[in-house]
Amino acid sequence: MKYLLFICADEAISLSPGQEEEISPAAQAWVTEMESRGIRLQGHQLRPVSDATTVRVRDGEVLVADGPFAETKEQIAGFDIIEAADLDEAIEVASKHPVSWFGTVEVRPLWEE
């Protein structure tokens, strides 16, 4: 089954240089491991929320706003699409993602045809 992992973090959190040096190689190691296991199908980091645009249609009128879709501290910073045997494996994969150390990883199954 395919799952979408929303990689969420608070953009206001500043990592120390030591933490950044730890996270970047850990993130690359996570990508390498999941791709070698044939689990990670695709993923990308997103630009900051200041570059986001939200679109809604209400009563036939298109409403466009700058910023993210939700008023929360944590924002979607990236995503990964994985293929896992079941939810337990998807949770195991998400728990190994370095952003889970200071942010959250939401696991959501995809509708498949």
Identify the CATH number of the domain in which residue 90 sits: 3.30.70.1060
Give the β-pairing of 104-109 and 74-83. Answer: unpaired
Instruction: Retrieve residue 20's tokens.
Output: 């950044």
Q: Residue 28: what are its φ and ψ, rounded to 5°?
A: -65, -40
List the pLDDT tens digit at each of the 113 positions of the chain: 999 999 998 877 777 777 777 888 999 999 999 999 999 999 999 988 888 888 889 999 998 988 766 666 778 889 999 999 999 999 999 999 999 988 899 999 999 87
Question: Domain total for the chain?
Answer: 1
What pLDDT was estimated at residue 59? Answer: 95
Structural domain span for residue 105? 2-109
Tell me the whole-structure pTM to 2 decimals: 0.82
Q: Is 57 left (phi over 0), alpha (psi -120 to 50) or beta?
A: beta
Instruction: Retrieve residue 49's tokens.
Output: 């929320």
